[in-house]
Chains A and B, each alone.
Chain A
Amino acid sequence: MKAILALETGRFFEGASFGSVRETSGEVVFCTALTGYQEIMTDPSYQGQIVVMTYPHIGNYGVSPDFDESKKPHVSGYVAREFSPIASHWKSVARIEDYMKQHNVVGIEGIDTRALVRHLRTVGVCRGIISTENVKPEGLVERAKKAGAMVGADLVKEVTCGQRYDWKKDLGAHGPRVALMDFGAKFNIMNSLAALGCEVTVFPAKTGFDELKKFNPDGIMLSNGPGDPAAVTYGIDTIRKIVVHNEGAATPIPVFGICLGHQLLGLALGGKTFKLKFGHRGANHPVKDLTTGKVEVTTQNHGFAVDTGSLSGKPVELTHINLNDQTLEGLRHKKLPLFSVQYHPEACPGPHDAHYLFDRFVGLMKKKVTA
């Protein structure tokens, strides 16, 4: 069946429908990861986005519950040169087509995705619509222009958990107790902490500081998530209160932020965020740790970034930068045990180079416990 992807810029691509048959809109972004299409589809940070995969064959090894990063897909639409008609992997339980249909994910294939990416790279990410209805592309373009904007959008409320819960209690961990603020957390953040022996409790994004304090955590994890960080005012407020608490505490609570969590920490510390032209999405971003001088290859998925300049004069040390465009990739508080990175040490998909950050977080929590 024919499908059209139309952009607010006026450009449109005609291809074939794949997965769910309906109309969808969202911010059109591209991701350069070669593997991990299911992790990407289920990453809550992609809420509200139509994701274009640059690698042409998507779905080769099918789908498996092991590759889920949340309970369901979050992308608004999925675009590939070709979705695999066959699933070939010992873990696979279904073909990507079955999975997308089951979860109502709209896809389009057969289009010149490279041309689309070159367009997005030039004009910046923009709004778009995928439609399988028999309509004129011009009309779709008009409607794409009216789709919801990313700037100012709080998408966290759409993806955070309804109520607090304990992560895989049956693991029987007795290590540091982590309160994880769920702004749209990927499973592997919880899994990575649990693998290091942490007891993880997941809190809804709107949890206030008092409730967190009552929980008496050994550390607070600020998760990744979708949308404009500046719109997550409640999150920023809670983090600000954690900082204030820590400033007066004999044994401050260590805080570790990832991606949106990093941006929110940056905002809470007085910084500003801005929207990148076409974002960072992929599994090959070189990041330099300014404290060691070493480069790690990282997974990234963000459309906003913390403005380096906005942090001058604040009690913040810049710890990581992106070598491709010199944007900020990590920071830490000069006195308090607060640190965050813009990229994804939990990988899934992507390299494990940055896993040491979880060790660092656990180390800080253990120090607090012994203090």
Chain B
Amino acid sequence: MPKRTDIETILIIGSGPIVIGQACEFDYSGAQAVKALKKEGYRVVLINSNPATIMTDPEFAHATYVEPLIPSMVERIIEKEKPQVILPTLGGQTALNLAVALHERGSLAKYNVELIGAKVDAIRRAEDRELFKKTMMGIGLSVPKAAWRVPLSEAEHIAEDIGFPLIIRASFTLGGIGSAIVYTREDFLAAARRGLDASPIHEILLEQSVIGWKEYELEVMRDRADQCVVICSIENLDPMGVHTGDSITVAPAQTLSDPDYQILRDQSFACIRAIGVETGGSNVQFAVDPKTGHASIIEMNPRVSRSSALASKATGFPIAKMAALLAVGYRLDEIPNDITKKTPACFEPVIDYVVTKIPRFAFEKFTEADQTLNTSMKSVGEVMAIGRTFRESLQKALRGLEIGRAGLGADGKSIVAKVDELSQRGSDDPEKKKLLEEVENKIRIPNCDRIFNIKYAFQLGLTVEDICRLSLIDPWFIHHIGMIWELEKEIRAAGKAMDVPLLRRAKRDGFSDVQLAYLTGLKSDAIAKMRKEHVPVTFKRVDTCAAKFPADTPYFYSTYEEEDESLPLSKKERVIVLGGGPNRIGQGIEFDYCCVHAAWAIKECGYEAIMVNCNPETVSTDYDTSDQLFFEPLTLEDVVNVVERTGAKGVIPQFGGQTPLNLAKPLLKAGVQILGTSADSIDIAEDRERFGALLKKLNIPHPANGTARNLKEAEEAAERVGYPVMVRPSYVLGGRAMEVVFDKAQLADYMRRALESGAGLPILLDRFLEDAKEVDVDAVCDGKDVFIAGIMEHIEEAGIHSGDSACVLPPHSLEPKVLEDLTRYTTEMALALEVKGLINIQYAVQNGTVYVLEANPRASRTVPFVSKATGVPLAKVAAMVMVGKSLKDVLAPWGKVIAQRKPWFSVKEVVFPWLRFPEVDVVLGPEMRSTGEVMGIDVDYGTAFGKSQAAAGGALPKKGTILFSLRIRDRAQALPIARAFEKMGYGLMGTEGTAVYLRENGLNIQSVKKIAEGRPNVLDVIKNREVVLVLNTPEGHRSRSDGFHIRRTALLSNVPIITTHAAARAVVEGLQQSRERRWEARSLQDLYKSGV
């Protein structure tokens, strides 16, 4: 069955912005698919609202729509591009939901478009939990018992039948509200009542709990000839009860016997057939009772997933690419194995190493959030590591996580020092007892530090059995963690006398030089020296076949064995690009996008491009992206190993975000050449005093500032610069712990908290420019010339983290003089800093004066947005400059594009994970908390803004009532906004004070009670969806006021919330310009052609 010839055009649906649970793995899968299908000669049309993706680069698909992922827009694209088929299985849940919605509104039938990969019936059978269970039971597979639509009268009876523990889920609630695990009959009724209350339709679902069972995933592929293969099995170290995205997972499965595994394999094939996924990859999840081996099927995803990206990276088998080829009719045996080239893809990869994935959390950004891990995913990224044993891969993954840990403990962190000290004491020492209790709790209740606490537990004297009983984790894993601790003890005992055999064992168990230095008292350098002399690192190849066949895949991992396989590819000079590591808030797909472009540009310049990264979700860790991929943690030790082994000419740290940038200095010290802007220039930009001196020399204004180590100094500095003041600890990333204080009392409160936390001194104070506009500028410089790539005007005022603000390019309200100053300052700073590559500068504009806030001589989060908005591939240009080309030469092919007037606006908007953390207040501030971004693009600002809002999931309501609830000092500013809404025909409603004020100013506004004033109150009108938009300005720092409840209720009721005037003004403008107009679908390629 060769490929289908009745297809000419294929529409691929992307997954939209990065959110928790849907990250760059779908850019990886989508990009693979677009490439593969183009190569097969198909015309590929793509829709994805996320500009920070490789797949939306205009040279990727034939027509690229960076448009909202909403059914009406997709229908418009279908109408315009006339695809014969839609491939919805590569864009996560978003694409599947969209496919079903298109079917339901009749678009597919109307335009005679076929879904390939998975049909609507199959999607429904997989997604509808009731239908899924019935389908599985119909083919004789076991599923956890469940009952739907349980009324209170029968609840107890049904619960008895299902047995305890069981799970109660409230229907139609967001964020898991009303759900509970009930362990006993006594607790059941009360929990059931709470669930029924929480559900808007007063329905609950009861389900047998398989909490504590072993959890497995199989990645399965099927082709049109009904041939099925398993690509990879994955075992969750954390048993059932923790979302698989939040679990530490290991590939392949470790504790299944062959009969156990074959049963899961047979069942996963039966599942994919019964669900009816015709072609492509699916992920099937199982729970296995550790006492009996009984397997229950939990769920299946009829599409590629985060796990399939992991499986692809873990095995070297490109699932998404294969899924795309299978969807157009190929059979597995007709496609060659990418890696061996000679054998077919119709086989099951085997590996000769262990892969460990560890999730990365961002609780430091959401301190109020409940940090207990449960079935709702909370992590924002992940790291993967490859080692020859589980212990090695676990320790490599932990040091790759970039949470300041050098492995599994043994790194001198404060808690380690405490455990070290107390573990020496007697068993009835009260302090030790208290610590042990704490540690036991952290093992019993799943949380992001559990793995470390398991090790501390060993140290405090618990046994494998104790820890298994507390954690329900399989003894095999616990035993291996115990082995790491046993070895640690030996190393401690040896101290400075650690000999070569012990060093070898330590390295083979994944101990880092930093850990060994801590344990032995030797210097880290001394250990590195001894290691290089006696225990040299080796690199092994990932080849899908456990070395059975020769392979030339340039995909390597480090380990400590006898033989090294990483021969250089050619005599070309080699350049290393450092990736960004695990996704986190503030450092995500935007930086991976830049790294990928850098690798391509380096190749284009005639070098061999080498990528070092450890994030399995990304395009940069596709072995196809660079000439050689080293899947390694981004630590000094690991990077130096790659540099030395490959003999690379230099390293580029400027594309992967803060992570590699932090490595620049230590790498330089270790004798590695840093390409691009010098480490000294980076230091000038980061050091306040040096940077201040530079600005003074250049005569560029910046807000007054000061530094303080205690309250007195802080008060003096604040007096000097003037309130309001922006305060933050030095050396922070992504706006951690930044706040704006308006008076002495707030400053004292901040300083008290900062001093108590004991971290991050000294405190930096900056004059906060009130009601200033914030502007971001991205530029490239080669030391001689500067190219201003994009000037972005923020929609939210200064004071809100730039990563959390919406922005528009080109600026739509800045005066020519301001633009001139921005250009001049950027040029002067870039040249003064001798930038070679990218620089991003943030400015505030107040009353026509331009102030510099900060300069970052590296890739910024906005590089992909600017590239999409202008049509100039910024990261590529910068990378070429960094390897020594002149800016003039590099820009030559883009001269016309740069010169032309671009009759369109691009608006970047961001998305937040509020729904995952319902305990956290929905307020914007200097601390970045968004996870992803979208872009709206159109010929007028209003429509571009409207599209950006729709793409971010908050489509602007075209009619209805707007709720106003404002701080007193914000009310005057709201007047014109309210007037504009009224003029457009919206109803107005307000809480008492706001309503009175607006009424006094001539507006027709309805009053609604505050929470304490009785019912129905402001929360009721939101819950009942009587209002379509909430405009609420926060009362100040962390108050659990009415405002908090209003915002939280709106969030959980899916009513859009606006918390700043600037955003409200943008909404008004957007609605005025686009409310009456039909949105056109505009491809990037067409827009670029419209330049004049």
Task: Name A residues whose Cβ lies closer than 8 Å to a Cβ of B.
Answer: 13, 30, 32-36, 39, 54-57, 60-61, 64, 66-67, 81-82, 84-86, 88-91, 111-115, 117-118, 121, 278, 282-286, 288, 293-295, 297, 323-324, 347-352
Contacts and interface: CB of A to CB of B under 8 A. Distances in A.
A286 B332 CA distance: 10
B952 to A, nearest CB: 44
B563 A121 contact: no
Given A33-B258, A67-B257, 8 more contacts: A54-B548, A61-B255, A85-B479, A114-B352, A285-B347, A288-B333, A323-B343, A351-B262
- For the complex of A and B, the 6 pairs showing the least CB-CB separation, nearest first, are A36-B258, A115-B563, A54-B546, A349-B258, A88-B476, A112-B562
A295 B291 contact: no
A115 B479 CA distance: 27
A323 B344 contact: yes
Contact of A35 (B258, B346, B474, B540): B258
A55 B546 contact: yes
B265 A351 contact: yes
B1042 interface: no
Contacts of A323: 333, 343-344, 346-347
Contacts of B253: 35
Contacts of B259: 66-67, 348
A82 B354 CA distance: 12
Contacts of A286: 333, 343-344, 346-347
A86 B476 CA distance: 7
B347 A35 contact: no
Contacts of A82: 389
Contact of B350 (A36, A55, A89, A91): A55
Given A67-B257, A295-B346, A55 B389 contact: no
B767 to A, nearest CB: 59
B262 A112 contact: no
Given A112-B561, A352-B262, A282 B547 contact: no
Interface in B520-567: 540, 545-550, 561-563, 565
Given A84-B476, A295-B333, A324-B549, A35 B257 contact: yes
A285 B227 CA distance: 14
A282 B548 contact: yes
Contacts of B562: 13, 111-112, 115
Interface string B389-423: 11000000000000000000000000000000000
Nearest to B545: A32
Contacts of B257: 35-36, 61, 64, 67, 89, 91
A112 B562 CA distance: 6
B663 interface: no
8 contacts: A32-B350, A33-B258, A61-B476, A67-B257, A88-B479, A286-B347, A295-B227, A323-B347
Given A55-B352, A56-B389, A350-B262, A90 B293 contact: yes
B227 A54 contact: no
The bracket for how many chain B residues form the interface is 35 or more
Contacts of A288: 333
B701 interface: no
A349 B973 CA distance: 74
B333 A89 contact: no
Interface string B316-348: 000000000000000011000000000110111
A30 B547 CA distance: 10
A114 B352 CA distance: 7
Given A36-B258, A81-B388, A118-B563, A284 B353 contact: no
Contacts of B227: 294-295
A295 B331 CA distance: 10
Contacts of B226: 294
A113 B547 CA distance: 10
Interface string B936-953: 000000000000000000
Nearest to B468: A88
A349 B261 CA distance: 10
Contacts of A283: 348, 350
Nearest to A118: B547
B377 interface: no
A294 B331 CA distance: 10
B256 interface: yes
Contacts of A113: 352
B349 interface: yes
A66 B226 CA distance: 32
A114 B258 contact: no
Given A89-B257, A297-B347, A347-B262, A32 B546 contact: yes
B233 to A, nearest CB: 8
A39 B464 CA distance: 28
B266 interface: yes
Interface in B196-254: 225-227, 229, 233, 252-254
B162 to A, nearest CB: 24
Contact of B256 (A35, A111, A121, A282): A35
A295 B563 contact: no
B563 A114 contact: yes
Interface in B898-952: none
Contacts of A351: 262, 265, 348
B454 to A, nearest CB: 15
B847 interface: no
Contact of B354 (A36, A56, A85): A56
Contacts of B389: 56-57, 81-82
Interface string B253-289: 1111111111001100000000000000000000000
A352 B256 contact: no
Contacts of A295: 227, 332-333, 344, 346
A89 B343 CA distance: 35
Nearest to B505: A110
A60 B390 CA distance: 12
